Amino acid sequence: MISLAIAATGGMFWLTGHYEKAFWFVVLSIISGLGAVVMSIANPDWYASKRMQAGLEIDFFNPSKGIGALIVTKIITTAILAWCAWKLGQLAGYFA
């Protein structure tokens, strides 16, 4: 969820016309989201503990359960954020 909060901060910068800051917050959000996927694959117990802290269903016998849904969700989120980053980069003058 932190990656979405970072992206929302980027959205606030977009609304105020600070396109450079918005671009970098969206890029940071992409990195944060993909980092969570890497951490979940590398350490399924970490992912299970995070799900338990969030009050979501966990399987004690298979801590890697749910990682597939996380990967699909992050692929969709990353695709949307990548498009937003591209548009913000154009507005900021980073891309021609």
Please give the average pLDDT of every successive group of 10 residues along the chain, which has 96 residues. Answer: 84 94 94 91 84 76 72 92 96 89
- Which pLDDT score is estimated for 51? 80
Report the pLDDT value the prediction gives residue 35, as an integer from 0 to 100: 92
Handedness of CA 49, 69, 63, 56 (dihedral sign): positive
Q: Which pLDDT value is given to residue 1?
A: 66
Structure tokens at 19: 């396109």
pLDDT of residue 24: 95
What confidence score (pLDDT) does residue 63 get? 60
Contact of 87 with 19, CB cutoff 8 Å: no
